[in-house]
Amino acid sequence: MRLIANKPCSFGGKKFYIGNEIPENLVADARLQEKMGVITIVNDNMGVSGGQSGTLFTQEQVDKMLAEAIEEAVNNTITEMKQKQKELQEVLQQSAAELKEVDSEILMETVMIDIVIDSDGENEQHMTVWAKSEEIQQVFSIMQLNADEGAKAIADVKSENVLILLHAADSRKTVKNAAKEQADKLFSIKAASSESISSNEATGTNTEGVDT
C-alpha cells in the first residue's frame, strides 16, 4: 500500500506536496486522511482504493501548479495594494478639495489619515497620521508633478508627515525612494542634533564648581 498526497500537507514534521509519496508510518489514520481528501491510498495489487479518482501528477505538473498558485497570490496582493493606494489618493484629493472651501482659521486644524504601511495580503499594519492642511496640500502638489520633478521637490521637504503620506500614496518608485531618502536624512539630522545637545549638557555638568 502506498500513500500519495492530494494536496500540500505535513506528517511527522515533514512537508509533502501534490503527488509525493508519504511513508505509511507517518500517517496515524490513513483512511480518515483519504476521506478528508488529503491523500490517496494506492494498493499495489488493486490500484487506487475507494472513492478517489486516482489521478496522480508528475513533478513537472506539481511544479507548474505551485508556480501558478504563487503567481496568482502575488498578483492578487499587488492588485490589492494598488487599490489601497488609489483609495488613499482619493482621500487626499478629497481632503485637499474640502480644505480649499474653509477659511484660514480652520486651515490650521489637522486631519486624521489612516494609511497602510505594510501588508502581506492577509494582515495589514496601519498608521495614523495627523496632517496639517498645508502638509496635505504639499503632498497633493508634489503628486501632480512628474516623477523627476517630484523627487527634486521632495529634497526640500522638512515635514515627516508629508514624506510618510507621499511614500504611502504615490505608486511611482522614484517618488517613493526620494521620500524614504529624505526621511532618513531628517532622522539623521535629528539624531546628530540630539547627540550634540546631550554632549553639551554632559560637559556643562562636569565643569560645575571647577575653579578657573
pLDDT band for position 48 (cuts 50, 70, 90): very low
pLDDT of residue 112: 82
Span 67-82, pLDDT tens digits: 888 888 888 888 888 8
Farthest CA pair distance, the chain: 103
**Three-state SS for 107?**
helix
The answer to whether residues 105 and 200 belong to one domain is: yes
Is there a domain that residue 68 lies in?
A: no
Least confident stretch, 40-49, 98-107, 109-118, 186-195: 98-107
What mean pLDDT value characterizes the chain?
79
Q: DSSP H helical segments within the chain, as ranges?
A: 30-35, 59-99, 133-143, 147-154, 160-169, 173-206
Distance from C-alpha of 170 to C-alpha of 175, rounded to nearest angstrom: 7
Query: 33 and 125 share a domain?
Result: no
Residues 102, 189: one domain?
yes
94-119: average pLDDT: 68
DSSP annotation string for 25-59 = GG-S-HHHHHHTTSEEEEETTTEE-TT-------H
Please indicate, yes or no, if residue 209 is contained in any of the structural domains: no
- CA-derived radius of gyration, the chain: 30
Higher pLDDT, 52 or 11: 11
- State yes or no: pLDDT of 145 exceeds 90: yes
Nine-digit cell string for 87? 483609495
Grid cell locating 150: 517630484
Pick the last residue of a domain from 51, 72, 91: 51
Range of the domain at 130: 83-204
Residue 46 has pLDDT above 50, yes or no: no
104 lies in some domain: yes
Q: What is the pLDDT of residues 148-161, one digit of tens each?
A: 999 999 999 999 98
Final residue of a structural domain among 51, 70, 91: 51
Q: What is the DSSP secondary structure assignment for residue 210, as one 8-state letter?
A: -
Query: How many angstroms separate the Cα of 185 from the Cα of each of 60, 172, 174?
Result: 49, 20, 16
Q: Is 5 exposed, middle or buried (0-12, 13-18, 19+ CB in 10 A)?
A: buried
Could you say which of 28, 51, 74 is where a domain stops?
A: 51
% the chain with pLDDT above 90: 19
d(CA 209, CA 151): 52
The three grid cell numbers given for residue 149, joined into one nine-digit string: 520633478
Greater pLDDT, 179 or 195 = 179
- pTM reported for the whole predicted model: 0.42
Structural domains in the chain (count): 2
Position 14 pLDDT exceeds 80:
yes
Do residues 98 and 195 share a domain?
yes
C-alpha torsion 32→34→37→39, nearest 10: 120
Q: How many residues does the chain have?
A: 212
127 domain residue, yes or no: yes
Q: Residue 134 above 90 pLDDT?
A: no
In a domain, 62, yes or no: no
